[in-house]
């Protein structure tokens, strides 16, 4: 072993290759620790990174996803089976109510694409039922527009 190929470590000579491997192993275990700690910290973090890379409140994301899921189910339900339709419609109505109670006009999310798209879908639904009455059947074009808005909102969550 030449002197150029060794380093003095803790008072003894160590070949450079071994020292590099040791440093790499130490960095690897630190990365694993950060990964594990990162996972634990993310459980307690009130925010979450979206598909589009934005960081939004987890509670907003959960509420918005629930509205999308329940409203989509309700729109796809056959309106001829009244009991099933009412059940899914009631679930959608409840999730929309919770969403609006918690998030309507909140400065932290009001400009987010998902919020704008969800608001548009909810307004379309409300406008239709306020004009046609609570027992009217939603026309396909209105359903399609609302589903498009839900897809847009989901893409940004």
Report percent pLDDT > 70 for the chain.
72
Alpha carbon distance 107, 6 (integer Å): 60
Residue 91: pLDDT over 90:
yes
> What integer is the mean pLDDT of 6-24?
51
Instruction: Report the pLDDT value the prediction gives residue 82, as an integer from 0 to 100.
Output: 82
DSSP code string of the chain: --GGGEEEETTEEEEHHHHHHHHHHHHHHHHHHHHHHHHHHHHH-SEEE-TTS-EEEHHHHHHHHHHHHHHHHHHHS-TTSHHHHHHHHHHHHHHHHHHHHHHTT-TTTTTSHHHHHHHHHHHHHHHHHHHH-TTPPPPHHHHHHHHHHHHHHHHT-
Instruction: Report the pLDDT value the prediction gives residue 46, as an integer from 0 to 100.
Output: 79
Residue 32: pLDDT over 50:
no
**Top-confidence residue, 49 or 70:** 70
How confident is the model over 74-88, as pLDDT tens digits?
999 877 788 888 899
Q: Which of 26-30, 33-37, 50-54, 123-127 has the lowest mean pLDDT?
A: 26-30
**Top-confidence residue, 53 or 127:** 127
What residues does 7 pair with on adjacent strands? 14
Residue 23: pLDDT over 70:
no
């Amino acid at each position: 072993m030449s002197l150029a190929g060794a380093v003095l470590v803790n008072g003894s000579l160590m070949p450079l290759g071994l020292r590099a491997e040791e440093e790499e192993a130490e960095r690897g275990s630190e990365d694993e620790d950060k990964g594990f700690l990162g996972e634990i910290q993310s459980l307690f973090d009130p925010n979450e990174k979206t598909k589009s890379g934005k960081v939004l409140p987890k509670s907003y994301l959960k509420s918005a996803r629930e509205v999308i899921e329940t409203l989509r189910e309700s729109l796809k339900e056959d309106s001829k089976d009244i009991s099933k339709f009412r059940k899914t419609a009631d679930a959608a109505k409840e999730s929309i109510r919770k969403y609006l109670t918690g998030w309507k006009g909140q400065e932290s999310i009001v400009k987010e694409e998902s919020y704008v798209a969800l608001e548009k879908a909810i307004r379309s639904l409300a406008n239709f039922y306020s004009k046609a009455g609570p027992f009217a059947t939603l026309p396909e074009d209105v359903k399609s527009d609302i589903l498009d808005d839900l897809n847009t909102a989901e893409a940004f969550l």
